[in-house]
Amino acid sequence: MIDETLVRYRIFDCIDCNLCTYLCTSKIPLAQLMRKGKDSLKAEGLDPRGRTVHRLQLKGFGEEEA
């Protein structure tokens, strides 16, 4: 199942600069987690431009609002 939150917050906009990991006072490996999230979305069939492949459906994503 694709995590809609990753798509909603535009995970593919991350450029993997590692600045978030460097600045994190809690020492959370954010860049590593972002990379892992991107890889899991790609494995599920989501392309880096944020468009779904026809075989996948995201609830509430790409639907026209009335």
What are 14-36's pLDDT values in tens digits? 888 999 999 999 999 999 999 99
**Residue 42's pLDDT band (cuts 50, 70, 90):** confident
**Residues pairing with 46 in the sheet:** 52
Query: What does 1-52 look like in DSSP terms, one character per residue?
Result: ---HHHHHTTGGG-----HHHHH-TT---HHHHHHHHHHHHHHHTB-TTSPB
Q: Token pair for residue 60?
A: 């509430």
Express as a percent the part of the chain with pLDDT over 70.
67
What does the pLDDT read at residue 8?
Answer: 81
> Has residue 47 got a pLDDT over 60?
yes
Predicted structure pTM score: 0.64
What does the pLDDT read at residue 62?
Answer: 55
- Sorted by where each begins, the domain ranges of the chain are 4-44
